[in-house]
Structure 1
Amino acid sequence: MSALPVLLRIRMRRDRWQLVSWVVAFGLLLLFTAAAMHSTYGTVSSREAVMRFAATNPAILVVRGTPHGTSIGALFTFEIMAFMGLLIGLMSTFLVVRHTRADEENGRAEMVAATSAGRTLPTIATAIWGVIVNVVITVVSVLACLIGGLPAGGSLVFALALGTTGIAFLGVGFVCAQAFSTSRAANGWAAMFVALAYFVRGIGDATATSSSEFTMTSGWPSWLSPIGWAQRTSPFEENLWWPMILGPVLGAVLFGVTLALQSVRDNGEGLVAARAGRRSASIALRGPLGLAWRLQRASVLGWGVGALATALLAGSLGPSALGAVAKDPQVGNAVRSIVPGGTGNLTSVFIVAMMGIVGLIVAGCAMQCVMRLRQEEALGTAEAVLATRVGRLRWFSGYLVVGGLASVVILLASGLLTGAMLAQSDPALFGQSVGAALVQLPAVLAYLGVLGLVFALAPRATIGVGWAFLALGAVFGEFGGLMKLPDWLRNLSPSTHTPTVPLPNAEWSGAWWMIAISILAVVLAAAMVRRRDVATG
């Protein structure tokens, strides 16, 4: 066990920037949301209006959760608990796969196993490190809620429920890392299970029954999800402690299964055998662009499904939700606050707001292509490609082209889907939806270009900076108005400068500036990538 402190220090050093990024994102999101609850919904009547509206719309319940009272804390929990559960689930699973399956894939785990640490101790160290990270997130969450003016007891229950949810998903990450032979497959399946937990919880909330006008009890499917367990604690109202036990119990059980599976499989192999490749490569793999698409297609399809699901929700939710929102000025103002300068027709504001969320998902897809560049460098596979006639510029630009083209296709498909559904009530909404989707492209390209420049300047910081950039861009741009953030802070996000088509007086200068910035960033990045060494490890 003398090697355990060393293994923990190694994990701490490797994750220091990722940890800072996650902590900052969690803290700011909770702090600004808590502060916004006081400024936006300071009166009981405004909170009652929101809860009454939510209770009658199953689509809202699927996304947010079930109402539990009308206090500031209850509304805070309703607004953000499910989303935070999704985030901490992704953080926990990615952390585990990074230190288990990814280490086996690049050969690091075999070298560590040859020392006194053996095969089991690194897995134990990863579990301890994962718990420590979730404890840090819990402490930061408590502080953010308290600074935001929420009651201490409810803040503690909320934060602990969030932390225990993360511990449950640590176990999911461990099992996926044992089951699959590549980190990409393990991360993909782990993320799918996290998303499944979110939607199973949503089904339970959509089938909830009302125990009073402003309190609902989720259906039995929510008991199948760790995120549903967190919501069952009812922070700031009932403050139940016992549902928190379920998360650590699940994590412990799955960790025990992990140790058992690890003892019966070979190092580097997964329980699910990797699919055999073709005898010869297809024509598409004759160039770096085809290779970039082949490596990224699963990720692009995953992000695309997420964007289309959001677009589908916008199209199905629109007619019924807008009818209810139009009757309540408080809720209408909340929707308008999401959109910079959102002073037009409420239907148009709703379209712009939903397409802004789609734009963030597409930005994540584009940035994932740059992150893949970093992974190829770290694993050493980039060197094998660059040893051929493929130059660094062609290799680098291939991933950016895939990210840009995928963004255009996903945005267009999302706009068409939302427009087709909304056009059933008003044909004019079809063109508005498509336009609102396509104008997200300059912001997406800005995210892509800036991260490409980060990759050229500081390659080892690419992944951490990328996720932090996207998270803060979402907080400042999409939710900054709801949180009453100052304009200078909101302007740091590319999403803030997206033209608000089809609203009147849409400002296009921001779009042109973002296009110019993205072009300049890509040109500088390409010049630097040609001259710097490949950053392996």
Structure 2
Amino acid sequence: MTAVATPHGGAAQGHFAPRTGGNRHLAGTGALLRLALRRDRIMLPLWVLAIGGTTAGAAGSLGSVYNTPEERANVISSMETNSSLRSLYGPVFNDSLGALVSWRYVAFMGAFAAVMSLLLVVRHTREEEETGRQEMLSSAMVGRRAPLTAALLVALIANAGIALLTTLGLASEGLSGALALGLAIGGVGMAFATMAAVMAQLTETARLAKGLTAAVLGLAWALKAAGDAASTDGSHVLTWLSPIGWAENIRAFAGERWWVALLFAAVIVIQGAVAYHLAGRRDVGMSFLPARPGPANGRLATATSLAWRLQRGSLLGWGIGFLLAGIMFGAMTEGAADLVGDNENTREILERMGGQAGITNAFLGAMIGMLAMLAALYAVQSVLRLNGEETSQRAEPILAGAVGRTTWAAGHLYVAFGGAALIMLLGGAGLAAGYGKDFGPILGAVLVQSVAVWLLGSFAVLVYGLFPKAAALGWAYAGLSLALGWLGAALNLPSAVMNLSPFEHLPKLPGNAMEWTPVLVQLALAVVFTVAGLVGLRRRDMQS
């Protein structure tokens, strides 16, 4: 191997040496792309299959619910008169089955694609710099903009996979509409991929880069919701200020507006150019918004206070999101009966999700269940922060002192389990406030569902403590429970499959009878899983 000059001066030998005449700022991009794809070889296909596969299979599930033109026409009529439901799902532009798929899924799947993209881009840019791995790679002839290019290419591959899977799955409903829907979802994903690329240059930590990009995503959703509530045809100016609103206004299966895709292209190009410009004007590990230095005298006396300091921002974001979501769902409750109307299939799905004590209580139970399934993602994320602290070797200096492993882990578990209960209570309070009644029964139902959230969090503790390299199984089980809760009722999956989710065993409240046995059993299992995980953590070697 021949020594070559690096972009930062000096020499390097090895696999990252560029070909003669190549762009030195992009040197090593191919190698970094292969490395990123290898690291994401499990999670990337799961994201693509979850988002693209769900959308592609939606025609079958919605076709069984709205199987006549009259029923589809009723949906349009309900959306025109119910601004609360319209703020969640958006307007319906056509009564075809494909248009109903777009109405029901384009905003949600676009938001999920945005989350996937921001996580991918920050993971392969700012997170690599924060852990010091990027500095090591840069010494081996990696161009200044190569990491950013590789990260954006990974996001592009993922979003292209979602668009392709969506198009192929819905092609039977009309190829033009299927392609428009796929491009809409992928366009939202790439818009937030480049947004995350900009944030990764501005901020000094991966956590802050993710948080700021997620805040922009939340703002985009709020603008879309407000605009859709104010207009029946997606024409409000607030809708047009949001990339999610653009995805709706492509109008897949309803006279496609291909020119709206140019908005995505413009934003992707502009934000990408800004990210590349910023990447070329800073040193590795540095940022344009440096972190604020801490106080001269430390105030973190315990492992719990450190865990709280590390996770309070995330908890605050989740709490605000749950409160706002609860208010929105509560405001929709009175209109639930109008949306269902005489459609027996929709009524059955809602009753399977939320119980059979009337449409209103079934709707409340279904919304509480949805909040609980999302809260499980917070619990798993918070628990697995332990794994991130361990693998990044930030836990090592703490454990080298007087702090034991159990004490260190317990600090994060207090935040995980206590935080999950808190955001559930905030969601319940918002739901009761939006509905305007039944405050006590709704909070009671929220606490019951929190038990399954704790069980999923404790499973993540068990896997992390005993098998840290398989910690992603915690995410897998939470994701499976979310998928079963969201799609299982619509697909009428057999009980043997539905029972894999802990939420399926808890009583459907409010409105139905309270059953203490499954609640106590799941609480006992949560304690056993947590203790077993902590025992495993004490006995095994720490990861390097």
User: What secondary structure, in the 3-state scheme, does the structure 2 residue paired with 1:530 have?
Assistant: helix
1:442-453, aligned counterparts within 5 Å? 442-453=451-462
> 2:445 aligned with 1:436, yes or no?
yes
Distance 1:323 1:34, change over 3 A: closer
Match of 2:331?
A: 316
Match of 2:393?
A: 380
> 2:64 aligned with 1:39, yes or no?
yes
> 2:357 aligned with 1:349, yes or no?
no
Match of 2:375?
A: 362
1:246-265, aligned counterparts within 5 Å? 246-265=263-282
Q: Do 1:474 and 1:495's aligned partners in 2 also have CA atoms closer than 8 Å?
A: no
Per-residue CA shift, 1:424-472, capped at 9, x if unaligned? 5xxxx2222111111111110111011112222443443x444443333
Overall identity of the aligned pairs, in %:
34
Per-residue CA shift, 1:230-251, capped at 9, x if unaligned? 2222112213323223223311
1:84-95, aligned counterparts within 5 Å? 84-95=109-120
Match of 1:305?
A: 320
Match of 2:43?
A: 18
Match of 1:98?
A: 123
1:468-479, aligned counterparts within 5 Å? 468-479=476-487
> 2:232 aligned with 1:232, yes or no?
no
> 2:142 aligned with 1:117, yes or no?
yes
User: What secondary structure, in the 3-state scheme, does the structure 2 residue paired with 1:238 have?
Assistant: coil
Q: Report the residue type matching 2:229 in the other structure.
A: A
Distance 1:134 1:413, change over 3 A: closer
Correspondence for 1:219 among 230, 233, 236: 236
1:199-214, aligned counterparts within 5 Å? 199-209=222-232
The alpha carbon displacement at 1:317 in A equals 2.6
Q: Do 1:47 and 1:70's aligned partners in 2 also have CA atoms closer than 8 Å?
A: yes
Distance 1:281 1:524, change over 3 A: same
1:106-505, aligned counterparts within 5 Å? 106-146=131-171, 150-209=173-232, 216-282=233-299, 285-319=300-334, 321-322=335-336, 324-325=338-339, 328-330=342-344, 333=347, 336-337=350-351, 339=353, 342-424=355-437, 429-462=438-471, 464-505=472-513
Deviates more, 1:161-170 or 1:87-96: 161-170
The alpha carbon displacement at 1:185 in A equals 0.3
What's the RMSD between the two structures over aligned residues? 2.2
Match of 1:516?
A: 524
Q: Report the residue type matching 1:447 in the other structure.
A: L
d(CA) in 1 for partners of 2:52, 2:532: 33
Structure 1 unaligned residues grouped into runs of 5+: 210-215
Q: Report the residue type matching 1:347 in the other structure.
A: T
Distance 1:29 1:469, change over 3 A: farther
The alpha carbon displacement at 1:37 in A equals 0.6
d(CA) in 1 for partners of 2:324, 2:211: 17
Per-residue CA shift, 1:78-111, capped at 9, x if unaligned? 1111001110011111111111111111111111
The alpha carbon displacement at 1:364 in A equals 2.1
Structure 2 unaligned residues grouped into runs of 5+: 1-17, 20-27
Q: Do 1:168 and 1:249's aligned partners in 2 also have CA atoms closer than 8 Å?
A: no
TM-score, scaled relative to structure 2: 0.90
Q: Do 2:111 and 2:188's aligned partners in 1 also have CA atoms closer than 8 Å?
A: no
Distance 1:487 1:34, change over 3 A: farther
Per-residue CA shift, 1:218-267, capped at 9, x if unaligned? 31222222222222221122133232232233112211111111222232
The structure with higher relative contact order (CA 8 Å, sep 6+) is 1
The alpha carbon displacement at 1:184 in A equals 0.5
Q: Do 2:52 and 2:163's aligned partners in 1 also have CA atoms closer than 8 Å?
A: no
Per-residue CA shift, 1:327-366, capped at 9, x if unaligned? 54558616624525x2112222122111112212322221
1:58-97, aligned counterparts within 5 Å? 58-97=83-122
Q: Report the residue type matching 1:492 in the other structure.
A: L
Per-residue CA shift, 1:280-313, capped at 9, x if unaligned? 222xx21111211111111111111111112111
The alpha carbon displacement at 1:7 in A equals 1.1
Q: Do 1:207 and 1:218's aligned partners in 2 also have CA atoms closer than 8 Å?
A: no
TM-score, scaled relative to structure 1: 0.91
